[in-house]
């Protein structure tokens, strides 16, 4: 099967990690898979032999966005995929429309955010709702029970296309020695170090992590990622007199994220909105004890099947993060228990299971060779094969 994955922007984000794993896993199953980005944002995919870009830079205004959509349609007409998997709000809309125009037999969208009612995201939610009700895509994937529940009030015509496939999260391909990892990223060799990863954006709330530095003496913090909040975080650290203990290491490519995580003594995650929390689960599987904001979805995904938490859940503010980190360092037994539970999540979120579920979904809708149940929040079992 010839499969095309459509992403909005090329950067080292969570949605991109999922399409990376899907591409690798589906290629291993004998399929021809490529990923096309509406625009290139960073250089992280420049050397990926399976990636293409419609535009070299972020489109500006309606004219630029139209160029991206028309370019995608042209690209897809030449590629002639059997199946299209789209990600993110703009990727879903552009990818689905292009797939319909180009005759793809199986079209699968992914919900990477909860429905919104205001601003541009609110408008995109309404467009997505209409597309789902009209059946423009054949299936609509949600990645957690919490995310599925956010669509409870949507019309049945929309909800009947919801399928739940939990994200796959890889384990580290090798063991990394802490001292070597710290040296590789220019981090202090002997300091007590918390690490975090993710796009530097207001919703990720890294300001709370920086604020925690002022409350935990001698703690250092390293954050992997880029984004619009980078200068604000550096300025906040200067104002709090902790700039020397904040290490902004920039974008870390997917192939080195476990090397970066190996540098830490603990992982801190203060995001205020998630549908899964891939970065936090990744850190848990890497064996780091976690301090995370107390979100329902994080309690769901960072808990083992046996009910053991892999994180200390706290209010997602400076006081909460600081208190959680201080507790981990003061109670080694707690840190060990959380780290042990986190490593158990590797089987729970095996990438192989995710890829098998997507393959079955694509085959069912495009070729009628697999039986796939509908998944809604009132029927919350994970889609499995």
Q: Which two tokens stand for residue 9?
A: 């922007």
CB 192 within 8 A of CB 219: yes
Domain contains 173: no
- The rounded distance, in Å, linking the Cα atoms of 111 and 15 is 10
Q: Which residue is listed with tokens 């003496």?
A: 217
Total count of domains within the chain? 2
Domain contains 373: no
pLDDT category of residue 112 using cuts at 50, 70 and 90: confident
Residues 142, 216 within the same domain: no
Domain contains 375: no
Q: Does residue 256 register a pLDDT over 70?
A: yes
Residues 103, 223 within the same domain: no
Residue-level pLDDT at 113? 85
Residues 133, 278 within the same domain: no
Q: Which residues, listed in sequence order, are joined to residue 40 by a DSSP beta bridge?
A: 10
Q: Does 251 or 376 have the greater pLDDT score?
A: 251
List CB contacts of 83: < 8 A, sequence separation 6 or more: 1, 2, 3, 4, 104, 105, 106, 107, 108, 362, 366
Domain contains 376: no
Domain contains 378: no
List CB contacts of 363: < 8 A, sequence separation 6 or more: 1, 106, 369, 370
Residues 119, 225 within the same domain: no
* Burial of 159: CB neighbours in 10 Å, binned 0-12, 13-18, 19+: buried
Phi first, then psi, for residue 288 (nearest 5°) are -90, 135
What does the pLDDT average to over 347-359? 96
Q: In whole numbers, what is the pLDDT of the chain averaged over residues?
A: 94
Residues 16, 104 within the same domain: yes
What does the pLDDT average to over 173-194? 97
Q: Does residue 5 register a pLDDT over 80?
A: yes
> HEC string of 45-81?
CCCCCCEEEEECCCCCHHHHHHHHHHHHHHHHHHHCC
CB 174 within 8 A of CB 198: no
CATH of the domain at 253: 3.40.50.2000
List CB contacts of 320: < 8 A, sequence separation 6 or more: 208, 293, 294, 314
What does the pLDDT average to over 151-174? 95
- The rounded distance, in Å, linking the Cα atoms of 207 and 89 is 26
Q: Which residue is listed with tokens 């796009």?
A: 199
Sheet holding 266-269, edge to edge: 246-250, 219-224, 192-197, 266-269, 290-293, 311-314
Domain contains 315: yes
Question: Residue 18 is part of which domain span?
Answer: 2-168+350-367
Instruction: Please write the tens of the pLDDT for every residue from 35-61.
Output: 999 999 999 999 999 999 999 999 999
Q: Does residue 384 register a pLDDT over 50?
A: no
What does the pLDDT average to over 287-314? 98
* Burial of 362: CB neighbours in 10 Å, binned 0-12, 13-18, 19+: buried
Residues 36, 68 within the same domain: yes
Residues 341, 360 within the same domain: no
Domain contains 56: yes
DSSP secondary structure of 296-318:
HHHHHHTB-TTS-BSEEEE-SSH
- The rounded distance, in Å, linking the Cα atoms of 193 and 182 is 10
Residues 158, 183 within the same domain: no
Kindly state the percentage of the chain with pLDDT values over 70: 95
Residues 358, 337 within the same domain: no
- The rounded distance, in Å, linking the Cα atoms of 228 and 347 is 35
Residues 300, 311 within the same domain: yes
**Which secondary structure element, helix H or strand E, spans residue 360, and what is its range?**
helix 351-367
Domain contains 101: yes
Instruction: Please write the tens of the pLDDT for every residue from 188-221.
Output: 999 999 999 999 999 999 999 999 999 999 999 9
């Amino acid at each position: 099967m010839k499969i095309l994955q459509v992403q909005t922007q090329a950067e080292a984000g969570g949605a991109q990690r999922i399409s990376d794993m899907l591409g690798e896993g589906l290629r291993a199953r004998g399929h021809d898979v490529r990923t096309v980005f509406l625009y290139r944002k960073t250089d992280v995919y420049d050397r990926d032999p399976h990636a293409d870009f419609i535009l070299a830079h972020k489109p500006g205004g309606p004219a630029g966005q139209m160029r991206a959509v028309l370019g995608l349609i042209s690209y897809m007409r030449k590629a002639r995929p059997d199946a299209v998997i789209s990600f993110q709000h703009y990727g879903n809309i552009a990818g689905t429309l292009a797939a319909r125009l180009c005759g793809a037999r199986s079209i699968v969208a992914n919900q990477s955010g909860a429905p919104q009612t205001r601003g541009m995201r609110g408008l995109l939610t309404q467009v997505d709702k209409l597309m789902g009700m009209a059946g423009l895509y054949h299936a609509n994937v949600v990645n957690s029970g919490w995310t599925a529940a956010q669509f409870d009030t949507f019309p049945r015509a929309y909800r009947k296309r919801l399928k739940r496939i939990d994200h796959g999260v890889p384990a580290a391909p090798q063991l990394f020695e802490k001292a070597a990892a710290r040296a590789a990223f220019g981090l202090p060799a002997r300091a007590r170090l918390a690490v975090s990863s993710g796009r530097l954006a207001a919703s990720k709330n890294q300001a709370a992590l920086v604020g925690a530095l002022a409350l935990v003496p001698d703690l250092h913090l390293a954050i992997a990622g880029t984004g619009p909040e980078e200068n604000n975080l550096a300025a906040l650290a200067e104002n709090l007199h902790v700039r020397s203990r904040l290490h902004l290491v920039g974008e870390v490519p997917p192939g080195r994220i476990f090397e970066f995580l190996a540098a830490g003594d603990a992982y801190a995650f203060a995001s205020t909105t998630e549908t899964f929390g891939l970065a936090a689960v990744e850190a848990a599987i890497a064996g780091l004890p976690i301090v995370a904001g107390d979100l329902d979805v994080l309690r769901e995904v960072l808990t083992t099947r046996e009910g053991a938490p892999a994180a200390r859940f706290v209010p997602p503010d400076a006081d909460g993060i600081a208190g959680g980190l201080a507790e981990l360092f003061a109670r080694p037994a707690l840190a060990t228990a959380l780290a042990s539970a986190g490593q158990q999540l590797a089987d729970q979120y095996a990438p192989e299971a995710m890829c098998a579920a997507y393959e079955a979904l694509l085959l069912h809708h495009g070729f009628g060779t697999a039986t796939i149940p509908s998944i809604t929040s009132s029927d919350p079992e994970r889609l499995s094969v």
